[in-house]
Structure 1
Amino acid sequence: MPQIIELPERPYVGVRRTITMTTFGLVADRIGEIIGWLAERGTYPAGAPFLRYESIDLAADRLVVQAGIPVPAPVEGEGDRFAAVLPAGRYATVTHHGHPDQLFGAIEALLQWGKEQGLTWDMAERDGAEHWGCRLELFQTDPRVEPDLHKWDTELQFRLA
């Protein structure tokens, strides 16, 4: 069942790519690289790795997505890796158990629940695309511990306006 939680600002290091629904690997596959890059600098994740959706235009099959790793304190970026902060605020959240390819149903259910609750998302529609202030998919399962994607837990966190 979805719930609303209050979250503080959270620093992270990320990369950004413009992708399609079939090229998620271009951004998602960078998570391990970012973790290694942080470890080389003596910094370790302060939470679950995530995908942050900035812009979604399904009709044009164009998404602007970040892969990010929370860090305990701000870290200076390098190359295409940048430092940023997830904004504080109220988030609607729910956890999906199962293959990440099945997230669409959980996302639709969360959006519908928000509509039924009269919630307003931190999102604006422009030029046929959704532009999100902070829409996250956090990967709670370590693939080194549980390689079966059907047993993964993915937490959705969508910021409220």
Structure 2
Amino acid sequence: MPEIVERAERPYVALRGKVAMDGIAAFADRMGEVVSWLAAHEIAPNDAPFFRYDVVDMDAGLVMEIGFPVDDLQHGEGEIVTGVLPAGRYATVTHHGHPDGLLEVTRDLLAWATEQGLEWDAHGNSWTARLEIYKSDPREVPDMNDWETDLEFKLKD
């Protein structure tokens, strides 16, 4: 069941790209580039990796980031960007299972928010913070059907 949580701001480092709907898996495979950049700069992530969907346009594609929260704001380079996930209220729900099920879970979260009369912090297809947080480490949980993923979508203040 979805719930509303309050989040503090969180600095992060990520890889940013424009991605076709059928290119999400290939973009996700580039997460190692973020891991390598963090290691080269001796920066440790302080939480689970995430996908951030900045623009969600089913026809034109997505603008998204794959990254990690870190302790302090950094300076990116090239395709590596940095920023701050904003503080505020987020609608959140946890999905247990294969990431293929996230589309349905996302639809359900969006519908739940509508039923509750909640407003997203978004302008058209552009979102302030629409996150998938991958809580399961594939080295420890190799079966994707056993993964745990949190959706966190920022609500309008």
1:15–1:27 CA contact under 8 A, matched in 2? no
Give the C-alpha shift of residue 153 in structure 1. 0.6
1:52–1:67 CA contact under 8 A, matched in 2? yes
Structure 1 unaligned regions, length at least 5: none
Query: In 2, distance between residues paired with 1:97 and 1:88?
Result: 26
Query: In 2, distance between residues paired with 1:121 and 1:33?
Result: 31
The answer to whether residue 79 in structure 2 is matched with residue 93 in structure 1 is no
The answer to whether residue 46 in structure 2 is matched with residue 51 in structure 1 is no
Structure 2 unaligned regions, length at least 5: none
1:55–1:65 CA contact under 8 A, matched in 2? yes
RMSD: 1.2
Structure 1: which 4+ aligned runs deviate by more than 3 Å?
none
Matching residue of 2:104: 105
- For residues 48-106 of structure 1, give each alpha carbon's deviation from its aligned partner in whole angstroms, at most 9, with x where no partner exists: 11111111111x15111111111111222122111111011100000001110110111
Query: In 1, distance between residues paired with 2:18 and 2:28?
Result: 12
Give the C-alpha shift of residue 47 in structure 1. 0.8
1:48–1:140 CA contact under 8 A, matched in 2? yes
TM-score (norm 1): 0.92
Go from structure 1 to structure 2 and tell me whether the alpha carbon gap of 1:61 and 1:151 turns closer, same or farther (over 3 Å shift).
Answer: farther
1:133 pairs, out of 128, 132, 151, with: 128
State the one-letter code of the partner of 1:19: V
TM-score (norm 2): 0.94
State the one-letter code of the partner of 1:52: R
After the TM superposition, which residues 23-102 of structure 1 pair with which residues of structure 2 at under 5 Å, given as runs? 23-58=23-58, 60-102=59-101
Q: Between the two proteins, what is the percent identity of the paired residues?
A: 48
